[in-house]
């Protein structure tokens, strides 16, 4: 799965791992807002890498495995972040994610016969430093978003977005270059 090769989505070991993570996510999402230290402890045990203690992921939060997710310094995500991390999801420093954002790495065949075999593959997502992702954005498998990027609310990111840009729409396209 992590190598990007085809794997069975109904593999017994994978399903057991998914269910174990669902238990952790349930506990995380059930915490009181004042339990910030417990929230951080759960995230440190769940995510693959957290650069510092200044990580905030507002509940509810959902992911498949957690351990394929890496976040940089001063990471903030608002309500309803969903990350399907069948492949690595790497997020840089000073990234801010609006509410209802989805990041997908799992890929499925468009052929219904192949899709019904439950065979799938995954492609990593990489988000650079100093990125703002607006509310209700969807980021598809295999996408890289460069540094210093703003993704407008409601966008569907289907292809790479270069550094120092503002991009919006469905499909998401660069509308402005930022002079630095």
pLDDT value for 7:
94
Q: Which residues lie closer than 8 Å to 149 by C-beta, 6 or more apart?
A: 128, 130, 131, 132, 161, 162, 163, 164, 165, 166, 167
Contacts 24+ apart (CB under 8 A), 3-10: 4/87, 4/121, 4/122, 4/123, 4/124, 5/121, 6/119, 6/120, 6/121, 7/119, 7/120, 7/121, 8/118, 8/119, 9/106, 9/118, 9/119, 9/120, 10/118
At 19, is the pLDDT very low, low, confident or very high (cuts 50, 70, 90)? very high
At 179, is the pLDDT very low, low, confident or very high (cuts 50, 70, 90)? confident
* Structural domain total, the chain: 1
At 3, is the pLDDT very low, low, confident or very high (cuts 50, 70, 90)? confident
In a domain, 23, yes or no: yes
In a domain, 1, yes or no: no
Residue 75, pLDDT > 90, answer yes
- Residue 80 sits in a domain whose CATH number is 2.160.10.10
pLDDT value for 4:
86
Hey, which residues are catalytic here? 108
pLDDT value for 2:
85
Residue 24, pLDDT > 80, answer yes
In a domain, 135, yes or no: yes
Q: What is the DSSP letter of 17?
A: H
pLDDT value for 35:
96
Percent of the chain with pLDDT strictly greater than 70:
100
In a domain, 19, yes or no: yes
Of 179, 62, 80, the C-alpha closest to 133 is: 80
∠ CA 71-76-77 to the nearest 5 degrees? 95
pLDDT value for 180:
75
* Per-state percent for the chain, helix, strand, coil, to nearest 5: 20, 30, 50
In a domain, 84, yes or no: yes
In a domain, 26, yes or no: yes
Residue 16 structural domain: 7-177
- What are the tens digits of pLDDT across the range 59-73? 999 999 999 999 999
Q: How high is the mean pLDDT of the chain?
A: 97
In the block, residue with structure tokens 């100093």: 130
At 152, is the pLDDT very low, low, confident or very high (cuts 50, 70, 90)? very high
In a domain, 2, yes or no: no
């Amino acid at each position: 799965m992590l190598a990007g090769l085809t794997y069975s989505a109904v593999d017994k070991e994978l399903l057991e791992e998914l269910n174990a993570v669902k238990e952790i996510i349930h506990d995380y999402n059930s915490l009181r807002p004042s339990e910030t230290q417990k929230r951080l402890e759960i995230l440190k045990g769940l995510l693959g890498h957290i650069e510092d203690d200044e990580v905030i992921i507002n509940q509810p939060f959902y992911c498949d495995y957690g351990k394929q997710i890496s976040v940089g310094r001063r990471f903030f995500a608002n309500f309803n972040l969903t990350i399907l991390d069948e492949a690595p999801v790497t997020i840089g420093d000073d990234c801010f994610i609006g509410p209802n954002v989805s990041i997908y790495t799992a890929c499925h065949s468009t052929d219904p016969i192949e899709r019904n075999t439950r065979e799938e593959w995954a492609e990593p997502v990489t988000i650079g430093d100093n990125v703002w992702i607006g509310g209700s954005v969807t980021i598809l498998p295999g996408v890289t978003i460069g540094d210093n990027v703003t993704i407008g609310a409601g966008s569907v990111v289907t292809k790479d977005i270069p550094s120092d840009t503002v991009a919006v729409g469905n499909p998401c396209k660069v509308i402005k270059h930022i002079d630095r």
